[in-house]
Amino acid sequence: MKTVSKDDNFYFLLVALLGLLFSSAMMQQLFSGGQKTVLALIIICLGFSIVGVKHQQSFYRNWYAFLLTLAAVSGSVTFFDEYDLSLVTLFALLIFLLSHTHTALKQVMQSEYVSKNQIIGSICVYLLIGVSWAIIYLIQIELFPQAFNGIEAKPWLDNMFEAIYFSFITLTTVGYGDISPALPIPRFFVFIESILGSFYLAIMVASLVSNRLNQTPHK
């Protein structure tokens, strides 16, 4: 099995995701309405995560770059023209995040050696799941404006942090109740995320412990 190497690490991805989460919170609290800045920060943060992809994996780099470019262009068109391409932007971001999740999960699960890099990778996968589901919720709000109680029907960038907040509250099965799904389809995705969050933690912890026990005799 292939181990995660220093040339293909998760440090860039972790920094990018934490930067995305913090910048979304900061813009929501301090600079409400700065949609162009929020979109630029999203593209920059996610673009920075590509740095951690192996230089030999040109296909993945080009694929990620294409999706981010599509998100940036469609988002800019929405701002400067009369065309609303919000769904194009959101689907491009969702595919980017899901692709990153698949790649990161594959690397973490295939590694037989429990290193700091693998642990960081497992954290990154958890964060990617939460952010991906936030984009799914934003898509639902675009399609069904009354999809959630506690989230108003506004441009998706204005709802970005509320969707991220609700996604991680659901993923961790905390459920404060300040935001709740109001329609059947959003409710379906909410309980799927809560189940996924619980199973991911159980499976990942079991996998890390098993790999750790298996590598001990070889030392």
Write the pLDDT tens digit of every residue in 94-130.
999 998 898 888 888 777 677 787 888 888 999 999 9
Mean pLDDT on 22-32: 81
Domain boundaries, the chain: 6-218
Tens digit of each residue's pLDDT (9 = 90 or more) over 146-174: 999 988 888 888 888 999 999 999 999 88
Task: Summarize pLDDT for 174-199 with one digit per residue, the tens.
Answer: 878 889 999 999 999 999 999 999 89
Alpha carbons 59 and 64: distance in angstroms, whole number: 9
CA atoms within 13 A on the CB side of 75: 23
When the pLDDT of each residue in the chain is averaged and rounded to a whole number, the result is 83
> What is the pLDDT, as a whole number, of residue 132?
95
């404006």: which residue's tokens?
A: 145
Per-residue pLDDT averaged across 141-145, rounded?
Answer: 92
b vs e for 101-137, b when ≥16 Cβ sit within 10 Å of the residue's Cβ?
A: bebbbebbbebeebeebbebbbbbbbbbbbbbbbbbb
| Lowest-confidence region among 20-24, 66-70, 142-146, 214-218 | 214-218
